[in-house]
Amino acid sequence: MTVQLGDTAPDFTQDSTEGPISLHAYLGDSWGVLFSHPADFTPVCTTELGAVARLKGEFDKRNVKVLGLSVDPLESHNVWAADIKETQGCALNFPLIADKDRTVSDLYGMIHPNANDTLTVRSVFIIGPDKKVKLTLTYPASTGRNFQEILRVIDSLQLTAKHKVATPADWQQGDDCIIVPAVTNEQAKTLFPGGFTEVKPYLRTVKQPGS
Ligand code: BEZ
């Protein structure tokens, strides 16, 4: 199955290092990041899980619940967790799904048979509070992901949801934003009382709302 932007994130119940998790109930009103990695006890994956654990406070601040996943069994996750704590300067502090029977991997298309027919690739799904998929990413096994970029996308998505602004190329917190095309100039005057700049009729910039 392929999960695309705007789809409802498929619901599932699966074992995890924090007990059985039913995705929709677990997320509640939060945002979610579901990400898969190829296998336990592999070097790149170990650094990724450590990186996400160190960023837990940043995800919490944004009301985001993070879930990792591989097709390894729970017993393996639990033993590997000790290695993550020992080597990454931070213990695992979010659930790691043990998708031994591939329920979730199949639902989300996380196994790409031409890359590897048994292991999950490095997929990322950002899920909104409405349970819709807002971002999908697929990385090769040999490239560890940049989780600062995942946070940057979440910031952008949350600005769009709250203030009807988009973010330009290479945008970072505090940079100017772009007024979405669906907002007319008349509406923009009300939405952005501090004013905005019309570079072109289709390119209108505004100070980052709420900053
Ligand atoms: C790793 O996590 O290091 C890894 C996993 C599968 C293939 C290559 C690298």
The structure tokens listed for 135 are 């971002």
Confidence of residue 55 (pLDDT cuts 50, 70, 90): very high
Residues 163-206: name the CATH superfamily. Antioxidant, Horf6; Chain A, domain2 (3.30.1020.10)
Q: What is the SS3 string spanning 20-40?
A: CEEHHHHHCCCEEEEEECCCC
CA distances from 50 to 81, 140, 142, 145 (A): 10, 18, 16, 12
Q: Among 47, 76, 119, 142, which is best to mutate for testing ligand 1, by the most ligand atoms less than 8 A from CB?
A: 142
Is 163-206 in the same CATH topology as 13-154? no
Confidence of residue 134 (pLDDT cuts 50, 70, 90): very high
Integer-rounded Cα Rg, in Å, for the chain is: 19
Query: Active-site positions?
Result: 45
Q: Residue 191 above 80 pLDDT?
A: yes
Question: For residue range 32-52, what is the model confidence (pLDDT) as tens digits?
Answer: 999 999 999 999 999 999 999
With a 6 Å cutoff on the Cβ, whether 45 touches ligand 1 is yes
CATH number of 13-154: 3.40.30.10
Residue reference for tokens 């898969």 = 36
43 Cα–ligand 1 center, Å: 6
In this prediction, residues 122-140 reach a mean pLDDT of 98
Query: Residue 20: its pLDDT value, please?
Result: 98
What is the percentage of the chain residues whose pLDDT exceeds 90? Answer: 98
Query: Residue 43: its pLDDT value, please?
Result: 98
Are the C-beta atoms of residues 172 and 166 closer than 8 Å to each other? no
With a 6 Å cutoff on the Cβ, whether 42 touches ligand 1 is yes
Cut 0.95: pTM above it: yes
The residues near 5 (Cβ < 8 Å, ≥ 6 apart) are: 133, 134, 135, 136
CA distance 189 to 5: 31
Neighbouring C-beta atoms of residue 102, cutoff 10 Å: 14
45 Cα–ligand 1 center, Å: 6
Q: Please state the domain extents for the chain.
A: 13-154, 163-206
Question: For residue range 144-171, what is the model confidence (pLDDT) as tens digits?
Answer: 999 999 999 999 999 999 999 999 999 9
With a 6 Å cutoff on the Cβ, whether 142 touches ligand 1 is yes
Query: Residue 1: its pLDDT value, please?
Result: 73
